[in-house]
Amino acid sequence: MASNSFNEAFNMRIKKINPKKLLEFEDFAGPGLVSKTLFGSFRDNVLLFLQNFSEIEDYTVDDMPVWCTLLVTKHGGAFPLFIVEETVWNSENPHCSHCKLSGDLNWMGWGHHFVCKRKYHLIIPSYEDWDKPLHGNFSQFQSHSLYSLIHCNGYGHLISINGIQDGTNFISFREVMDFWNHLCTVLRARKISFYDVSRRGPIELRLIYGAAYGHSWYSNWDYKLRDRFSGGTDQELCTAMKFLSSFDLDKIVRDFKKKKNGKEIKELINKYREMSDKPLVTIGDLLKYMLKFKSRLAVPGFKPSEFDSKDGENTTSLESFMNSMTKGDCRWSAKRLEEVLRVIVDLLNEHKTNNFDGKDGMTRHELREGARKSIGDTGLIDFVLKCIRCFQVENQIIRRTINPYGRLVEFTIHDIVQEAESMKWPIPVMNFNCRWSRDKLEHAANAIVSVLKENKGNKTMPRQELRDKAKDLIHDTGLIDFVLKSLDNSTVGNQIVYRSKNPITKSIEFSLMSVSENLEMSANLNGLLGLNLSEEVLFLYKKVLLGYSDLNSIGLTARLILDSNLFVKELPIEKEVNGFMTLTCRVFPSFDELDTELTRRLSPGEVVVVSPSITIGELKVVAQRALRDTYCVMDNLVLTQVGALKRIEDELILSCAVHPGSEVWVRGSGLDLVTSLRYEDGLKNTINDIVSY
């Protein structure tokens, strides 16, 4: 975690910076200084943003300059937004792998775009990295609170998004997504893609969210499905999610009545129907009700449970928790705060020992009265209790929760080691048929875990690939097969190995999660509702949502949702801004170039913002400058006319010849058709590239 010295340095930086460069996180897109300053194209706006609202750092990343903008929250905290400018001249790979990824899906993406001269990486690091310079491999990190990339032509990619936990104040997925949406709007980005592969363990989040709410989480910000061939149209996806969410629970009970898990499915549905004050008719009703208890699936957009702590429950270290209490106007010394914490931990452990199941919490009043016997300052006790959310002391986690029945604040303590040990590794070493010793089994299991750790950035690993890589460490394939067969939601050291079946390929896959991550995903109501709630959601996911065959309408619907990965948001281009006209200037190549070299879809044009009183000849100069500044193949472009087939006279006033918001074709010479920096996907030509979005 970030140290207290960093917080002090960060606060000093805020005091020194020009107040105009401090941006409010929540109100970023309001009618303030930023939106008034930036009314041009993205190409121009991003440079103005760096000049007026960012400060350049005193280091570079692989020769790429880095800027930092400080974002201030309503909680009084601040955190950095880093922007890295990558040019084709300082880039190890000037082509875009994200455009290429989109383009590989039946040529649906932006691989046909001409290579842009610049692209911008926008990063909000995770809290523990705020005090560290960005590394050259920053694009490989999975922990960034926000990571995106936008080309200078305004087309970009949202790569990853997480919530922000700075030790005291939690900013949710939704708030980070709101900020990202505002940032794209203010900078006037054009289109943003997102390839959704988010999951928790074996659960694909887009399926569980769609089944619960009847729509995609990203549709809240107007992201629409564009992966038409591998999935469906956006309208088909919307219809599929609504259909799945509205599927009748009684019909599900009848469908599974004579099947293996039919009894358990019926009991689970009846259990929540009895608990709910409102009738649960559809599977969407059931999942939404279950998720109100905060199953710790951490699905983006799930509303925090009314039964849980206010600010989320990301576990922080004791050092980080102490830092969060001592910063600001705290009038007690760190020694006094630590003394109160020690008393609270002792009281919780004593209560846990004397309690029958060892999990019931102490109310705030009980804990306060108990602490008063050792600490005379009730103001100090109240301050510490108010600050507690979820932190770790040695091998124990202290949590603040709200009892769902008494509605009172409670504090609980859990032993990490005991909970981890309770999840037994089900390898039957005493089985008569097992011919390997315990040591060999554990050695093989640890080797498998090490392979999964190396692969963790890719989330899951097919069984065959895992087996092949494990063979480099364990040469006994029989032993590997035996261990792989035995591992299923199993604990190996401080890691949990999950096994699942890919609903599309039907192959067995493995994934990995640390015990501490799993504990944070567990509901506060463990034991109170019978099963662990996350296990119940997982049960419904596996046995119901994926339990129907592909010939059934539910099975087909689930398959469509799982196959739908690529989403795109198109931001509208304002036709007129502050009395200026917005136009898109697009190069129309010669017929010979179209026939021999430029056989793919034409690359999009470039946005220019100009006065309506200029002439067509002056527009030609502005367009030439913009196109040269944007695309590598147009470095020496010379425009000779405005108009594709029919020339528009240079002397005409622009407003008399062109409407605001129009796409204007321009023609000229000088396209560099020899350079390797032609298309973003690195390919040259293809005759299949015929579908546009």
DSSP code at position 220: G
3-state secondary structure 43-104: HHHHHHHHHHHCEEEEEEECCEEEEEEEEECCCCCEEEEEEEEEECCCCCCCCCHHHHHHHH
DSSP 593: H
As a whole-number percent, the residues of the chain with pLDDT over 70 amount to 76
The verdict on 116 and 10 lying in the same domain is yes
Contact 489, 416 (CB under 8 A): no
> What six digits make up the tokens of 693?
């979005």
Of all helices (H) and strands (E), which one includes residue 24?
A: strand 22-24
Angle between helices 173-187 and 42-53 (to 10 degrees): 110
For 96-143, write each residue's pLDDT tens digit: 888 876 543 444 568 889 999 999 999 998 877 777 788 777 777 667
Question: Do 458 and 412 reside in the same domain of the chain?
Answer: no
**Is residue 405 domain-shared with residue 485, that is, in the same domain?**
no
Q: Reply yes or no on whether the pLDDT at 630 is more than 80.
A: yes
Residue 549 lies in a domain: no
Q: In whole angstroms, what is the distance from residue 499 CA to residue 326 CA?
A: 44
Q: Are 478 and 623 within one domain?
A: no
Residues 262-267: what's their mean pLDDT?
A: 92
Which domain CATH number covers 587?
3.10.20.90
**Inside any domain, residue 205:** no
User: Domain with 436 in it: what CATH number?
Assistant: 1.10.10
Q: For residue 653, tell me if it sits in a domain.
A: yes
What's 134's DSSP letter? P
Distance CA 453, CA 462 (A): 14
User: Pairing relation of β-strands 396-402 and 580-587?
Assistant: unpaired
- Nearest CA to 625 out of 608, 640, 646, 643 is that of 608
418 Cβ contact partners less than 8 Å away, ≥ 6 residues apart = none
- What does the pLDDT read at residue 47? 95
Tokens of 301: 């957009």
The arithmetic mean of pLDDT across residues 209-217, rounded, is 90
202/460 Cα distance (integer angstroms)? 8
Phi, psi of 338 (to 5 degrees): -65, -35
Query: pLDDT category, 207, cuts 50, 70, 90?
Result: very high
Judgement on whether residues 502 and 465 belong to the same structural domain of the protein:
yes
What pLDDT is attached to residue 458?
54
CA 125 – CA 80 distance, rounded (Å):
8
Question: Is residue 291 in some structural domain?
Answer: no
Q: Is 621 left (phi over 0), alpha (psi -120 to 50) or beta?
A: alpha
What type of residue is 181?
A: N
Domain shared by 463 and 600, yes or no: no
Residue ranges making up the domain that contains 613: 576-669
3-state secondary structure labels for all residues of 301-333: CCCCCCCCCCCCCCCEEHHHHHHHHHCCCCCCC
Q: What is the rounded average pLDDT for all residues in the chain?
A: 79
Place of tokens 């009730």: 378
DSSP string covering 614-682? SBHHHHHHHHHHHHHHHBGGGTT-EEEEESSSSPBPTTSBHHHH--TT-EEEEEEE----S-S-SBTTS
CA distance 314 to 58: 32
Q: Which value, in Å, is the radius of gyration of the alpha carbons in the chain?
A: 29
CA distance 342 to 580: 65
580 vs 613: CA distance, rounded Å? 9
Query: Of 196, 213, 231, which residue sits at a domain end?
Result: 196
Q: Characterize the bridge pairing of strands 495-501 and 490-492.
A: antiparallel
Say if 254 falls within a structural domain.
no
Q: What is the pLDDT of residue 359?
A: 47
409 and 474 inside one domain? no
CB burial string 481-498: b at 16+ within 10 A, e below = ebbbebbebbbbeebbbb
Answer whether residue 11 is part of any domain: yes
Whether residue 450 is found in the same domain as residue 354? no
Q: Identify whether the C-beta of residue 130 lies closer than 8 Å to the C-beta of residue 85.
A: no
The Cα–Cα gap between 144 and 176 comes to: 11
- What's the total number of domains in the chain? 4
Q: What is the rounded distance in angstroms from the CA atom of residue 414 to the CA atom of residue 392?
A: 9
What pTM, to 2 d.p., does this model score?
0.66
Nearest to 83 by CA among 116, 111, 109, 52: 52
Last-in-domain residue among 481, 499, 519: 519
pLDDT at 106: 40
**Closest to 581 in 3D by CA, of 40, 14, 16:** 40
- In the DSSP assignment, the letter for residue 402 is E
Query: What ranges in 170-317 are assigned the alpha helix state H?
Result: 173-187, 205-213, 234-245, 249-255, 262-275, 283-291
Cα-Cα-Cα-Cα torsion 35, 39, 44, 46, nearest 10 degrees, comes to 20
In a domain, 166, yes or no: yes
Do 415 and 427 belong to one domain? no
- Domain match, 143 and 13 both: yes
* pLDDT at residue 508 in the model: 83
Last residue of a domain, one of 478, 497, 519: 519
Q: Which amino acid is present at 34?
A: V
pLDDT surpasses 80 at 536 = yes
Q: Between the ranges 148-152, 400-404, 424-428, where is the mean pLDDT highest?
A: 148-152
pLDDT confidence bin for 203, thresholds 50/70/90: confident
- Regarding whether 593 and 488 lie in a shared domain, the answer is no
627 and 635 in contact (C-beta within 8 Å)?
A: no
Q: Is residue 222 part of a domain?
A: no
Q: Are residues 414 and 477 in the same domain?
A: no
b/e 208-219 (16+ beta carbons within 10 angstroms → b):
bbbbbbbebbbb
User: What's residue 686's pLDDT?
Assistant: 54
Q: 70 with 78: CB under 8 angstroms?
A: yes
Instruction: Tell me the pLDDT band of 613, cut-offs 50, 70 and 90.
Output: very high
